[in-house]
Amino acid sequence: MRHLNILTSPHEPWLLAALTLGGLALRLWGVGDMGLAYDEAATALMARAAPAAIVDFHWRAAFEHPPLWQLTMAGWSAGFGQNEAALRLLPALAGATVIPLTWWWVQRLWPAERAWRNWAAALVALAPTLVLYSQEARMYTLVVALALLSLIALHALATQPRLPVILAFAGINWLMTGFHYYSILLIGVEAIFLGVLAARRRARPDAWRWSGAIVLSLAPIALWMALAPGFHDTLRVVVNNIGGGNTQSALAFLDALWRDLTFGAIRWQPEGAIVGLVLAPLVTIGLAATAIPDARCFRTNPGYTPWSWLVGLAALLPLLLSVLFAPALAARYILFALPAIYVLAAAGIVWLGRQSLPLGLAGALLALVVAWLGLSYYFTGYTKSEYREMAAFLTAYRQPDEAVMLYAPRQHLLTKYYLPDIADEVVTAPVVELPTFWPVNAPPIVPEEMDGVLLDLLATHPALWVIVTAENEVDRGEFVPKFLTAVAYKEECWSWLDVSLCRYVSPHFLTEVRSSTPELLFGGELRLTGAAIMQTPQHPLDANYRFVRLDWLAERQPTRDYRVTLRMVDDRGAVVAQRDEFPIGALLPPTTWRAGDVKPGYMALPLPADLPPGDYRVVVGVYDPATGAAMGDFVEIGVITMGGSA
């Protein structure tokens, strides 16, 4: 390959340097401010394993890529540590190299097009999605950089298919596919392009060299796919899901994918991502303005190389193929298509500018507005994960004798990263053995097995914290929270973006301070036989609640799913605190009871923060939720003195 010659203008090297440094600054800005998402925590934990263990795991595990990324991060972590910024530094640096590599690629294909390559570099520098994934502790920007190197090497391969070029081309592709096997789509694009050239030129020696380069490029990943048991499992699932599990039309899927690629809101796409569609006309204009003239030249001159076809294939073919694999394919898997998309957008801007200056300025303004809005969203409104914030809250308020449960176990890598001091103590729902470094796929919860575990935890710990994320994977019926509500005092669930934290107080560690025997029958079916106001524990969070046990008897099988309303009223009869719930929670609503059933119910009554001192009556009522009609009079079960001991 010829050496890079940037001396086409005395100012161009400075412009490229400014774009690269500016892009690097964007990618390093607040790089450690956001907490790790699940995949990033997987990067961190797996990088702590021995290299041989990393290779073995990726060989056997489904939905894992070849091990090059984790091996790279194992070495990187040894030198730079594993805080959020250190884990993301390598992707940020790789993301910055995409800027000059894009410039270099366009310079190789069209040496005379100075404005085109500079606009392409500028758009890549400001691309919201490329900035976002430059701050993700994953392999995606490394794949993009290697993809550009592969395309640059392809230029040399198409013009000078000598052995060193073939080996360089294949070596780059080995690295690229070693990081992410979806990048074989790019090698497919390159193979199609070289096939078109070979068919038109009828140059058999070149065709054999090109074929050899493609085969050599695919050899390592093909062997991995052919032999690795984990890939076989992955392929089986992907093939079974083709055309299924996706209710979107092809057009709707491509629309969402395009917004993800051009705006950058990958996980939670905001409505504002629609502005990414503005780039589509620029890309279309750029493709038409370059591909049509190339087609004319290629038709009349067999030796001509239609480079715009390569750019168009690299930009659009991965998007079109993604429709086939829609349920399994995310935008980040085809991130390597983005530089080609921005090269076409830059071509559109340049073509418009050559028609008239106002048109060119309008095209440039549209592209820059998309970049500005996407970057503004990412650096202000976007949140990747709030597991770190949840972990800080739990660390601040959990007492050493309180249990912690992961509901579901998939989150254990995040737990080990952010809660290392308790990671070995946590219990999982369902109960599974947690590997030290690797992800885990847990089976569905079996209620008959889980209830005893929960009861044992409440019998031996004064409180149970439940960390809730990805729970639908193991407990679609929500057995765990429903069961805990039936057998413990549920205080509150604090919610963050992608995780919740619930606290349940064990009734075994509370003592009665006031009790009564109301013996009041509601609806002719449900009798309140006893009530007790419990001693408030010393935990700082418990001061915001009052704990009440209500004892129920089904005189006959209930015909309504009654709701209990527990209230605290002041001396004027005004309600100052209230909680409404099934008698023992949603797991067993009253209509599931049988005549003669005796069941205790546990209710934690939340208190307002500004409640003044004084005496407050605690009353209980029962009503029919279907009509709101009361099933009897309220009954007073005690008096609470605020500022007192209870």
Residue 543 sits in the same domain as residue 623: yes
Token duo for residue 573 = 């009869």
Q: Predicted confidence band at 238 (pLDDT cuts at 50, 70, 90)?
A: confident
Residue 350 sits in the same domain as residue 413: no
- Look at residue 4 in the predicted model and tell me its pLDDT: 34
The last residue of a domain, from among 381, 409, 439: 381
pTM: 0.91
Taking residues 27-45, what's their average pLDDT?
Answer: 96
Q: Predicted confidence band at 271 (pLDDT cuts at 50, 70, 90)?
A: confident
Residue 226 resides in a domain: yes
Q: Which region, left, alpha or beta, applies to residue 643 given φ > 0 means left and ψ of -120 to 50 means alpha?
A: left
Beta bridge partners of 603: 548
Highest mean pLDDT pick, 254-263, 279-288, 635-644: 279-288
Contact 213, 225 (CB under 8 A): no
Q: Predicted confidence band at 322 (pLDDT cuts at 50, 70, 90)?
A: confident
Distance set, CA 267 to CA 257, 294, 361, 640 (Å): 11, 38, 32, 47
- Look at residue 545 in the predicted model and tell me its pLDDT: 95
Q: If you write DSSP's letter for every residue of 131-165 in order, what string do you get?
A: HHHHTSSSSHHHHHHHHHHHHHHHHHHHH---HHH
Alpha-carbon gap, residue 626 to 615, rounded angstroms: 33
Residue 100 resides in a domain: yes
How far, rounded to the nearest angstrom, does the alpha carbon of residue 33 sit from its chain's CA centroid?
17
Residue 604 resides in a domain: yes
Question: Tell me: the pLDDT tens digits for 488-504?
Answer: 999 989 999 999 999 99
Contact 348, 281 (CB under 8 A): yes
Alpha-carbon gap, residue 631 to 614, rounded angstroms: 30
Nearest to 405 by CA among 340, 346, 488, 345: 488
**CB count in 10 Å sphere of residue 236:** 11
Residue 72 resides in a domain: yes
Token duo for residue 96 = 């910055």
Question: Tell me: the pLDDT tens digits for 57-107?
Answer: 999 998 899 999 999 999 999 999 999 999 999 999 999 999 999 999 999
Alpha-carbon gap, residue 556 to 561, rounded angstroms: 13
Taking residues 585-603, what's their average pLDDT?
Answer: 96
Query: Exposure string (b/e) for 17-37, b if CB count within 10 Å is 16 or more?
Result: eebbeebbebbbeebeebbbb
CATH number of the domain where residue 430 is located: 3.40.50
Q: How far apart are the first and last CA of the chain?
A: 82
Question: Tell me: the pLDDT tens digits for 615-640?
Answer: 999 999 999 999 999 999 999 999 99
- Look at residue 149 in the predicted model and tell me its pLDDT: 98
Residue 361 sits in the same domain as residue 285: yes
Percent of the chain residues past pLDDT 70, beyond the cut: 96
Nearest to 528 by CA among 551, 508, 554: 551
Residue 150 sits in the same domain as residue 250: yes
Q: Predicted confidence band at 577 (pLDDT cuts at 50, 70, 90)?
A: very high
Taking residues 340-369, what's their average pLDDT?
Answer: 96
- Look at residue 266 in the predicted model and tell me its pLDDT: 60
Of 426 and 202, more confident:
426
Q: Is the pLDDT of residue 644 over 60?
A: no
Residue 6 resides in a domain: no
Residue 465 sits in the same domain as residue 529: no
Taking residues 596-608, what's their average pLDDT?
Answer: 96
Beta strands of 374-478 (E only): which ranges?
A: 403-407, 427-428, 463-468
> Tokens 């096997």 label which residue?
181
Residue 284 sits in the same domain as residue 341: yes
Looking at the structure of the chain, the number of domains it has is: 3
Alpha-carbon gap, residue 192 to 183, rounded angstroms: 15
Question: Tell me: the pLDDT tens digits for 135-178?
Answer: 999 999 999 999 999 999 999 999 999 999 999 999 999 999 99
Q: Give the β-pairing of 427-428 and 563-569.
A: unpaired
- Look at residue 253 in the predicted model and tell me its pLDDT: 86
The last residue of a domain, from among 508, 524, 542: 508
Helix/strand/coil percent split, the chain, to 5: 55, 15, 30
Alpha-carbon gap, residue 298 to 289, rounded angstroms: 15
Residue 474 sits in the same domain as residue 517: no
Full domain range(s) for residue 571: 511-642
- Look at residue 245 in the predicted model and tell me its pLDDT: 54
Residue 67 sits in the same domain as residue 98: yes
Residue 373 sits in the same domain as residue 398: no
Residue 65 sits in the same domain as residue 189: yes
Question: Tell me: the pLDDT tens digits for 522-546?
Answer: 999 999 999 999 999 989 999 999 9
CATH number of the domain where residue 534 is located: 2.60.40.2550
Task: List, as own/partner pairs, every contact residues 566-574 make where C-beta atoms lie below 8 angstroms and the sequence separation is at least 24, other chains included.
Answer: 566/603, 566/605, 566/618, 566/619, 566/620, 567/618, 567/619, 567/620, 567/621, 567/634, 568/605, 568/607, 568/616, 568/617, 568/618, 568/619, 568/640, 569/616, 569/617, 569/619, 570/614, 570/616, 571/614, 571/615
Residue 122 sits in the same domain as residue 162: yes
Q: Predicted confidence band at 204 (pLDDT cuts at 50, 70, 90)?
A: confident
Contact 547, 600 (CB under 8 A): no
Of 186 and 322, more confident:
186
Mean pLDDT of the chain: 93
The last residue of a domain, from among 508, 539, 560: 508
- Look at residue 5 in the predicted model and tell me its pLDDT: 38
> Which residue type occupies 305?
T
Residue 540 resides in a domain: yes
Taking residues 436-461, what's their average pLDDT?
Answer: 96
Residue 279 resides in a domain: yes
Q: Predicted confidence band at 20 (pLDDT cuts at 50, 70, 90)?
A: very high
Q: Which region, left, alpha or beta, applies to residue 449 given φ > 0 means left and ψ of -120 to 50 means alpha?
A: alpha
Residue 103 resides in a domain: yes
Q: Predicted confidence band at 268 (pLDDT cuts at 50, 70, 90)?
A: confident
Q: Is the pLDDT of residue 560 over 70?
A: yes
Distance set, CA 261 to CA 137, 177, 431 (Å): 18, 21, 39
Percent of the chain residues past pLDDT 90, beyond the cut: 87
- Look at residue 3 in the predicted model and tell me its pLDDT: 37
Residue 442 sits in the same domain as residue 375: no
